[in-house]
Amino acid sequence: MAQVITSVDHLTFSAHNLPALPAPKQVLMVEPTFFSVDYAINPHMADNIGNVDKTAARNQWQQVLGVFRQLGFSVHRLEGQKGLPDMVFCANQSLPYINPAGRKQVVMSIMHSDMRKEEVPYIEQWYRQQGYEIRYLDREKVRAFEGCGDAIWHSGRRLLWGGYGYRTSREAYKTVSGMLDVPVMALRLADEHFYHLDTCFCVLNETTVLIYPQAFTESGLKLIHAVFDHVIEASEDEAKERFACNASCPDGKNVIIQQGCREVNSKLREAGFTIHEVETSEYLKSGGSVFCMKQLLW
């Protein structure tokens, strides 16, 4: 099923006919010991250099971890590394997968910024210890790929959504699609405040997605609407200031989301989801929230 789809005209299948993907059961989180904002590689960081409250960051991280546990996920905790303040955002260094034969695989990222490149081997080593088959992108062909920051699994189906333009280069998806033998729906990102797909696109269940529409192009929006029956929209304020779309719905029912996304939460409740609000204000200073503070695993 390897193919990269960029427009509805090339959509030849319907998502619910694709092979099933099991639900993830585990979570990886990287300890926030060395988390801080030391440089600015996205617009959210610019005014926040040196401005992280470490104690609050630790408590907020612990709270996010607690909700995943409460929902029945087993959480792996990996040490952070001195000098790698963004390593805590462990959605970004890899794209894990379980193939149809039940083999756990992972594609390692090629980080866009030099500041984050050294994070990848630490994460890779952890996957190695867990017995994953490690896959690498060809650096001659792919300039940058930031894992699940930009590559997001459709809920329950072997279908990948791939954002590109800021942190991941478009050509990455040809390789990723071929490597994992899955179709990729490629979406160009159109606003630098929404530099990763996970800042503006949150798959809630097989038929429902939460998006910030202005972060996409017209043809991207058409693709999203062609696949999802229900598209819930976040306002600019909740998407940009509270990272509403960087929520995580790890089981198709429970949504873990930054506190205070009132409009989004009422839409989500109306659609039948259960909301778990968490405070991630220290991580918002770095341009991240719940979704990128963890990696879901099978």
Binding site for ligand ARG (CB under 6 A): 41-42, 45, 86, 89, 91-92, 116, 149, 196, 198-199, 286-288, 292
Rounded least distance, CB 146 to ligand ARG, Å: 7
What is the identity of the amino acid at 22?
Answer: P
Rounded least distance, CB 109 to ligand ARG, Å: 11
Provide the greatest CA pair distance for the chain.
Answer: 51
Rounded least distance, CB 101 to ligand ARG, Å: 29
Rounded least distance, CB 230 to ligand ARG, Å: 23
Q: Which is nearer to ligand ARG, 58 or 225 (CB)?
A: 58
CA–CA distance from 185 to each of 47, 161, 251 (Å)?
34, 5, 22
Q: Which is nearer to ligand ARG, 15 or 112 (CB)?
A: 112
Q: Which is nearer to ligand ARG, 42 or 254 (CB)?
A: 42
- Strands 26-30, 104-108: pairing is unpaired
Task: Give the torsion through C-alpha atoms of 96, 167, 160, 99, to 10 deg.
Answer: -20
Q: Which is nearer to ligand ARG, 92 or 177 (CB)?
A: 92
For 48-159, list the strands marked E by DSSP. 74-78, 94-98, 104-108, 133-135, 151-153
Q: Which residues are catalytic?
A: 196, 292
Kindly state the tokens that stand for 237. 């304020």
CA–CA separation, 86 vs 165, rounded Å? 20
